[in-house]
Amino acid sequence: MSLNVKETVTAFVLLAVAVYAWVEAGSFAEEARVFPRMIAGAMAVLSLVMLARSFFAGDEDRATRFFKSFPTFLLCLALIFGYIYSTGLLGYFTASAIFIPAFALLLGLRRPVVVVASTVCFIVVVHLVFVEAFDRPLPVEFFLRQ
């Protein structure tokens, strides 16, 4: 019997979520707890099935990695977080003007014309569609705040 690590860890995480959901539902009013407990129960049973299966499935997934490139994944995640954070701090269009080119350049694109043209076109289109045409509110630019 060999262990399928990815499947086992996933099954344990889901089982933990199900147990938490079941226990937490105990603090709800009686009527409000029925449905969440039904779901948590089903989730627990299914994760146990997955867990049992992972013990017998073998380690066939050893060759397939979860991350294709962990450093790139982290870099991308940091960039997305930075983009979101600076959207609140600097305003949407300023953050976009900084992070879209930075994103592309840090991922290895070395064609400044493509990067600048794509960024400018994107900002103009978003402004025209979201702000001008549909009047959707966006985080205000830092230099326009009162």
Residues that bind other proteins (CB under 8 A): 6-7, 10, 14, 17-18, 21, 24-25, 28-29, 31-32, 34-36, 39-40, 42-43, 46-47, 49-50, 53, 66-69, 72-73, 75-77, 79-81, 83-84, 87-88, 92, 96, 99-100, 103-104, 107-111, 114-115, 118, 122, 126, 129-130, 134-139
Shortest distance, position 67 Cβ to other proteins, whole Å? 7
For 50-87, give the DSSP string: HHHHHHHS-SGGGGS-S-S-HHHHHHHHHHHHHHHHHH
* 2-26 burial code (b ≥16 CB/10 A, e <16): eebeebbeebeebbeebeebbeebe
CA 121 from chain center: how many Å? Answer: 26
Among residues 2 and 105, whose Cβ is nearest to other proteins? 105
Amino acid symbol at 9:
V
Among residues 2 and 20, whose Cβ is nearest to other proteins? 20
According to DSSP H, which parts of 91-139 are helical? 92-106, 112-126
Among residues 55 and 79, whose Cβ is nearest to other proteins? 79
Shortest distance, position 40 Cβ to other proteins, whole Å? 7
Shortest distance, position 59 Cβ to other proteins, whole Å? 15
Shortest distance, position 93 Cβ to other proteins, whole Å? 10
CA–CA dist 107, 97 (Å, integer): 16
